Amino acid sequence: MYVKKIAPSLNCGLDLIGEVLYGKWKIRILWFIHEGHLRPSELQRKIPDATRRVLNVQLKELEDHELVTRTIYPVMPPKVEYHLTGFGKTLIPLIRSIGLWGDEHQERLRRVILKQNALSVTESEVDEILS
């Protein structure tokens, strides 16, 4: 397991939220649990680019940060579900706002991201991809 070599800076709210939500899939995981996708297999289907291992690590971190709880049912085959805690539910309005901001600026964001990720792509190729 990865252990951080430098202690996190926890001097302000932005430091704290960054520490809790840092991870490529955490915001999506929280949102999909909020929408009712509670089982790891459901989350895997909703986020197919995330490996099962990465999802499990990020779910564990969200659990450690008291944003989700894990329930293990004593059945065969084993059944596990995740639920937002009351604390985790307080993030949903923020996640919704971030999503709306992304929707509002999606054309510009796609253009910037495509340029950044593909330096060999020309401006006209970016326009073609976006259209």
Residue 71's H or E segment, with its range, is: strand 68-73
The pLDDT score that the predictor gives to residue 100 is 97
The pLDDT score that the predictor gives to residue 104 is 97
Q: Do 68 and 129 sit in the same domain of this protein? A: no
The pLDDT score that the predictor gives to residue 9 is 75
Number of separate domains in the chain: 2
Q: Do 71 and 30 sit in the same domain of this protein? A: yes
Q: Do 102 and 57 sit in the same domain of this protein? A: no
Q: Do 100 and 69 sit in the same domain of this protein? A: no
Q: List, for residues 11-28, the tens digit of each pLDDT value.
A: 888 888 888 999 999 999
Is residue 5, in this structure, part of any structural domain at all? no
Q: List, for residues 24-69, the tens digit of each pLDDT value.
A: 999 999 999 999 999 999 999 999 999 999 999 999 999 999 999 9
Is residue 4, in this structure, part of any structural domain at all? no
* Boundaries of domain holding 26: 12-85
28 or 125: which carries more pLDDT confidence?
A: 28
> In this structure, are residues 37 and 50 in contact, taking their beta carbons and an 8 Å threshold?
no
Is residue 3, in this structure, part of any structural domain at all? no
Q: Do 71 and 17 sit in the same domain of this protein? A: yes
